[in-house]
A and B are shown apart, each in its own frame.
Chain A
Amino acid sequence: MYHIALKMLFADRAKYIMLISGLTFAALLMTQQAGVFFGILGWTNGNLKNIRSQIWVVDPKVEQVNEIKAMRDTDVNRVRSVPGVAWAVPTFWNPQQARLADGSFKPIVLVGLDNSSLVGRPVHMIAGRIEDMRLPNTVIIDDLGVQRLSQGRKKPIGIGDTFEINDKEARIVGICQTEKMFWGYPYVFTTYDQALRFAPKQRKMLSFILAEPAEGQSAAAVAKRIHEETGLGAHTEEEFGAMTVKWFFKNTGIPVSFATTIILGFIVGFAIAGQTFYSFILENLRHIGALKAMGASNGLLTRMVILQAITVGIIGYGIGIGLTVVVGLAFLQKGMPPFSLPYEVPLYTFFAILFICAFAAVLGLRKIFNLEPAIVFRG
């Protein structure tokens, strides 16, 4: 009987296409929007991905990784003196203006790494040597920087080229690859001392202290101890990431906006699929009545309807996810908008689509269960 159920489903082209379209639309909207949302969330933690450290020490008022409240240089030594800290290094991080060859300005994020250890260095170098940033007035820019800072040049900016940061010449000695950050600015890496020279003078210049626990110590325990003994904010990488995400949830409309779109996708899919499937059942009610009269049990009819619902669900979901992947790959290739698809997104979308299908099936089944087979004898 199952092939009959499928044949009945596929033969009603208009309803079948409508069902698939509704579910495809729901799956696409839910996964694509969730993908962009997670991409944006990923960008909010861009600093943590580009400057790797187990423990981040910041001013206690700092709530997230994109927020700077400078500390005193002496705070580095206070952190180093906390038991369980293997090492701690100063880091500068601040948005600056870069002056390009054609005289225009572009915002950049200037990162100053500890002179000797270069802790927090870029993970992936595309060209040049990381150690060369110790040379006078040198920087390493990222791949986004190559795009942005090439304005006014005949060929893309590269090793050996220069630009200005606050009227001071910076010579490029390397190109690295980074994860994009929330503000969308390119990263410019240099040493801590050179960063202080590039940046305008302020009373306090230390942005972060990067630290590592001694062998056998957990990062969480050491971070807690740093906070207790220095009064500074000390967070593990994971904690700081979670704080950042929480901050964006609390202080921006981004999650609500995306959640609204995702919920709308669900509701529209729900309405289209539910309504169409219900009308499909209604239109076939006399045939279903005939099947019931001929001895088809409610159990058999339930299995047939569930098969129909699951079939449209899987096809709609499959097309929706396929389109999401295509759109996502296009986004990633272009670099905008951000896109990230953790496996949970398609998984939960699958359950959402199943829920829609189950709802649609239940609507139809209610009608079937209440159907008196004697209906077939009425006119």
Chain B
Amino acid sequence: MVMADANNISTNGNGNGNGNHYAVHVRSVTKTFGTGDATIHALREVQFDAREGELLMIVGPSGCGKTTLLSVIAGTLGFDSGEVDVFGSPLHSLSKGDITDFRAKNIGFIFQQFHLIPTLTNAENVSVPLLINGMKRAIAEKRAHELLEVVGLKGRGNHLPSQLSGGQQQRVAIARAMVHDPKLIICDEPTSALDKENGAKIMELLSSIARAPGRCVIVVTHDPRIYHFADRMTEMEDGRVARVHAAPENL
């Protein structure tokens, strides 16, 4: 087992990541919620890196700051101090509008509860990121059908999400996360709503996505069944990165 000091991750971690470039570079990020006695320190001077071509997992007990860190990296949550670079874009110095644009173009999301819009067909759900980026509806839906085929849901594009199993719905969510070819894919507990078999299939899919050049997948999870899919694992405690494991199967 290789255990890296939280501040020297970049030098010690050598998992299965294909690239040598940073995908995500977080320096001294602090985030608090509330004021006065009610202040909660969600992130305390966090140092964190993720590399291109790797699937990195963030683990830790509830309330340790995993989801907050994920939200900060995704640009969906502001932070009090520190610096966050995602594929060379300094989120700390971008305006809210620029961060929104950045998310639309460069980040794909996979949520714990899938967040598929139940009234839209699977293909329409998958096409949403393309439509947000201004693509014409017909082209976007054609591309969505192609992506659904890639994730093993050929012919299910015109069905509603409610007509699919949980594992299939998560596949739709993965297709939606990939459809606009983002560099970074953010996954929040992607297997918590799935059984072991479906969870494993989803993780295999995410692992293969992470291998693509110029891409990175960050997964927040509580699910030890999937730890072995990680190239590296960042363990958080009390708002800090406590350890980085380069061989997570031994965790």
Q: Please provide the 6 A-B residue pairs with the shortest distance between their CB atoms, ordered closest to farther.
A: A295-B104, A11-B119, A290-B115, A374-B71, A373-B76, A374-B77
Q: From A2-10, A113-121, A268-276, give the one contacting chain B.
A: A2-10
Residues on B with C-beta less than 8 A from A12 are 119
Judge whether A14 is part of the interface by a CB distance below 8 angstroms. no
In the complex, the answer to whether B77 meets A8 with C-beta atoms within 8 Å is no
Known: A291-B132, A293-B74, A293-B76. A376 touches B109 (CB 8 A): yes
CA distance A291 to B133 in the complex (A): 12
Q: Mark A67-81, 1 if CB is under 8 A from B, else 0.
A: 000000000000000
Residue A300 is within 8 A (CB to CB) of chain B in the complex: yes
Are B119 and A294 in contact, CB atoms less than 8 angstroms apart?
no
Segment touching A, from B123-131, B143-151, B207-215 = B123-131
CB pair A295 B112 closer than 8 Å? no
The reply to whether B67 and A377 form a contact with Cβ atoms under 8 Å apart is yes
In the complex, whether A201 has a CB less than 8 A from a CB of chain B is no
Complex Cα gap A31–B115 (Å): 43
Closest A residue to B125 by beta carbon equals A4
Interface 1/0s, chain B 87-107, versus A by CB < 8 A? 000000000010011111101
Q: What residues on B are CB-neighbors of A287 within 8 Å?
A: 115, 117
Residues of A within 8 A of B (CB): 1, 3-4, 7-8, 11-12, 286-287, 289-297, 300, 372-374, 376-379
State the main secondary structure of chain A at its contact with B. helix
Q: Which of chain B's residues have a CB closer than 8 A to the CB of A372?
A: 76-77
Query: B188, A377: Cβ atoms under 8 Å?
Result: yes
| Separation of A77 and B196 alpha carbons in the complex (Å) | 109
**Contact partner, B111, options A11, A292, A377, Cβ 8 Å:** A377
User: Closest residue to A297 on the B side, CB-wise?
Assistant: B100
* Interface status of B2 (Cβ within 8 A of chain A): no
Alpha-carbon gap, A7 to B124, bound state (A): 10
A3 nearest in chain B by CB position: B137
Q: Let me know if B70 is at the binding interface, CB within 8 A.
A: yes
Chain B minimum-CB-distance residue to A373: B76
Cα A294 to Cα B101 in complex, Å, equals 9
Closest-CB distance, A11 to chain B (whole angstroms)? 3
Q: Which residues of B contact A374 (CB under 8 A)?
A: 71, 74, 76-77
Residues of A within 8 A of B104 (CB): 294-296
A-B contact pairs, 19 of them (CB 8 A): A4-B124, A4-B131, A7-B119, A8-B117, A8-B119, A8-B120, A12-B119, A289-B115, A290-B111, A291-B128, A294-B128, A294-B129, A295-B100, A295-B132, A374-B71, A377-B112, A377-B188, A379-B112, A379-B113
